[in-house]
Amino acid sequence: MHVDGSSNQQGSGAGIILESPSGISLEQSLPFGFKTSNNQAEYEALLADMRMAAEMGATKIVCWTDSKVVAEQVNDNFQVKDANLLKYYHLYKGMKDQFHDVQVRHTPRCNNERADQLARLASSRKPGQLRSTFHLELPTSSIPQECMPVEEPNTWMTDIMNFIVNGSESSDPVEAKKIRTQAARYSVVAGELYWRGFSTPLLKCIDKPQADYVMREIHEGICGSHTGARTLAAKVLRAGYYWPTLKTDCTEYVRKCKQCQQHDNLIHASAEQLHSVSAPWPFALWGIDILGPFPLAKGQCKFLVVAVDYFTKWIEVVPLATITAANVQKFVWKNIITRFGIPYAIISDNGLQFTDKKFNTFLENLGI
């Protein structure tokens, strides 16, 4: 056997050549689906070649490798100090018992060129030789990988899930009562927490990072249209997701969206200093407007017509059931002209009642 391992930034792999006394040569290019160091790649190549030799029925093998570290370690000439290499060493000792005789020898790299080429995923076929090259992939390492347990962070769903699944409560009575009240609106299906609304199907509960992703995809994703906060919240619910601060988070997200700030239909009038409106004498300049609608009062009244004098700040108010131009004209005649005289001007917001043709003719005839 000739073996060689290779590890670089692009990946790791091994090259294996198995030759029989009858002249048949098998070549195997073996890319790894995991990251390894150079020495680990050499061990993986050696173990893979021994597995292939066992499948072919070999009982005595001589393996040539250009890694002096691996050759001396498996021959017990070097001490194995690395923890990962020590696992490979024990695995080699276990596989060695399957054969009658196993010899691992070191050879210079120049004498192991063919295996080195296969290790770099470049195979060559020479004419006149019975040779087969296999391109396989080693998905996992030969030694079991130890993974450190990762603790899931606590979210707003943790206490509710623990109460529904395990019945665990907080030692604080106030907090325990709060969790019991909240848990009545939730259900656990297949290990996932769902919110039960009054008129909606079960909505999947998600944490803060997932909520940010959902809002971003719905608001500005491939099908997003940069809708407002209320529409965004409604679309999130229709998509089947829920979290307690849904509406406030949607409002803050839309408020911070750069595209919405640039292209939304907002008032971009430049700032200007306030101008004071001066009245020459009392009851000469009046401001008039209509307020409402309010809850129904006596006489079906739900609107107010208000007039304020600019000089004295005197207020005249009359409740109205309907806000017509005739009622506004009656108010001006009865509450302003007959009591305080004909004013110089009346200022309004150009509502339909104040721009009525008959009302304006009435004011022009009086010289207002």
Give the residue with greater pLDDT, 32 vs 310: 310
Q: CB of 95 within 8 A of CB of 47?
A: yes
Domain with CATH 1.10.340.70 in the chain: 158-261
Both structure tokens of 15: 């090259």
**Which pLDDT belongs to residue 267?**
64
d(CA 64, CA 71): 9
Backbone angles phi, psi at 305, to 5 degrees: -105, 125
Q: Give percent of the chain above pLDDT 70.
A: 90
Domain with CATH 3.30.420.10 in the chain: 2-135, 285-366
The CB-side HSE value for 214 (13 A sphere, CA atoms) comes to: 23
Both structure tokens of 242: 């829920």
Confidence of residue 126 (pLDDT cuts 50, 70, 90): very low
Confidence of residue 97 (pLDDT cuts 50, 70, 90): confident
The three-state secondary structure class of 144 is coil
Q: Tens digits of per-residue pLDDT, 324-353? A: 999 999 999 999 999 999 999 999 998 889
The alpha carbon of residue 171 and the mean position of all alpha carbons in its chain are separated, in whole angstroms, by 34
Give the residue with greater pLDDT, 133 vs 90: 90
- CB atoms near residue 51 (< 10 Å): 14
- Hunting for tokens 């080195």 — which residue is that? 116
Give the residue with greater pLDDT, 122 vs 17: 17
Q: Strand pairing partners for 5?
A: 14
d(CA 243, CA 15): 54
CA-closest candidate to residue 103, choices 30, 49, 163:
49
Q: Is the pLDDT of residue 200 over 50?
A: yes
d(CA 295, CA 292): 9
| Class of domain 285-366 (CATH, top level) | alpha beta
| Class of domain 158-261 (CATH, top level) | mainly alpha
Confidence of residue 128 (pLDDT cuts 50, 70, 90): very low
Q: What pTM was estimated for this model as a whole?
A: 0.37
CATH of domain 2-135: 3.30.420.10
CA-closest candidate to residue 91, choices 35, 33, 141:
141
